[in-house]
Amino acid sequence: MNNIRIRLRLFTGKIPVLTVIICVIVLLFGKYRQMEYVRANETGVIEIENTEILPKQIFCRRNTNDSFPVRGVLLHEWIKDIRQNLAWAGMTERYIARMGLHEKVCQMMFVNPENLVLSHDVTKLDKEFKSALKKYPVGGIMLKSKNIQTKKQLKKLLKKMQDNSDITLFLAVDEEGGTVSRVMQKLGNIDGGDIGSMYDYRNLGGDIAYENARQIGDNLSYYGFNLDFAPVADVWSNPGNTVIGKRAYSNIYSEAAELIPYAVRGFHAGGVLCTLKHFPGHGNTKEDSHYGNAYVYETKDDLENNEFQSFRAGIDAGADFVMVGHMIVTDISNIPSDLSKEIVTDILRTELGFSGVIITDSLQMESITDTYSAGDAAIYAVAAGNDMILEPENLEQAVEGIKQAVKDQIIAEARINESVRRILVMKHTAIEKE
């Protein structure tokens, strides 16, 4: 020991503070390892001993406002949180190991209620819906205007959906402010006043973008939603584009990149997860992918210098989901972006470094259904690297198609596990509105 001299010079810059923190963590882990119920097995996978795994306890939402030590947060509290998160990680691994293929594939499905109940529009939970949810334990449900009637009805519907799912559901809606509003356009703003399109307020700066998103989050979390399919990170760079238009935060790339991070933080402050959409950018197309193929003729370099600015900024700000659109980027791929491995995995996951949940745009749009069956579209989407599939045209065909692709070794089950892991971890770390 006398031969070892460690000089910790916190204020001279010789050893970064983070290095010291890591050393302290390692020492504390060593000191208390006999007390901890987390351990690593021979393969390095974290395991939990003598712990009964309860899905609702593992993957329910909790308060995670302090995601990194900041001024006023004691170091030992942060270390405690790290150790707790390791415990949850171990539980996740064990739970995935116990899941059957059907259950795992279903977790990757993000459906509307009518994907589960084919006979009528869903405004309340009946036996048919409960039975369908038991048969297909999906990972998320997106509501539309037709599912929303009154404040009381909506709160009850979302609560019943959550209560009837063994694993906590993502409950989402398209609530962007302005023209795309499924909840507040029908039920009003619980905080009073109207929430318009951020495009109209873009010159007022980031504080307005934050407050706009926070109020949307407040409204959604009040009813029981935990995810919003917003903000729109597309830039309205083509005046002839009608599908995005004023849904965008700006028509200037740099301005959108400045505003989007404020929106991300605003949604989180309001108590919901958020989604950047529609990667790699739908604001410069002439066509609308709802009604057929839409083309992006920019080169990859153009996209990196322009469209990607706002997505990078949103990712850096902590966006939870990224929705990939159906646009065909002719310089990169000849198929819709969300079915393209080059775009989903090589660019979004690898080059942009996004580690959250990647979800397709709705697979019920004509740009998909005109060319692909429900099963084939789902297989392409998973093979491309998407974690979740939004609104498959036919839920049964999508689920069975992916399962068969795994059995035929077209898709590795490890690829399925990778997405399920992200989904479950995101459900556990979802922000809790106080």
Give me the count of residues in the chain: 434
Task: Say if residue 16 is exposed, middle or buried (CB neighbours under 10 Å; 0-12, 13-18, 19+).
Answer: exposed
User: What are φ and ψ of residue 279, in 5° steps?
Assistant: -60, 140
Q: Tell me how far CA of residue 207 lies from CA of 212, 213, 251, in angstroms.
A: 8, 10, 19
Annotation marks residue 361 as catalytic: yes
CA 210/CA 317 separation, integer angstroms: 12
CA 60/CA 77 separation, integer angstroms: 21
Active-site residue among 81, 290, 316, 346? 290
Q: DSSP 3-state assignment of 59?
A: coil
The string of DSSP letters for 243-294 reads SSGGGSS-SSHHHHHHHHHHHHHHHHHHT-EEEEEEET--TT-SS-TTSS--
How many other CB atoms are found less than 10 A from the CB of residue 104?
A: 23
Annotation marks residue 120 as catalytic: no
Pairing assessment for the beta strands 46-48 and 38-40 based on DSSP bridges: antiparallel
The first and second tokens of residue 388, run together, are 């979740």
Q: Which three-class secondary structure string do you get for 174-228?
A: CEEECCEECCHHHHCCCCCCCCCCHHHHHHHCHHHHHHHHHHHHHHHHHHCCCEE
CA 359/CA 74 separation, integer angstroms: 36
Count of helices and strands (H, E) across the chain: 17, 14
Q: Please name the amino acid found at residue 11.
A: F
12: Cβ contacts below 8 Å, ≥ 6 apart: none
Active-site residue among 218, 361, 387, 428? 361
User: What are φ and ψ of residue 357, in 5° steps?
Assistant: -90, 125
414: Cβ contacts below 8 Å, ≥ 6 apart: none
Catalytic residues: 290, 361
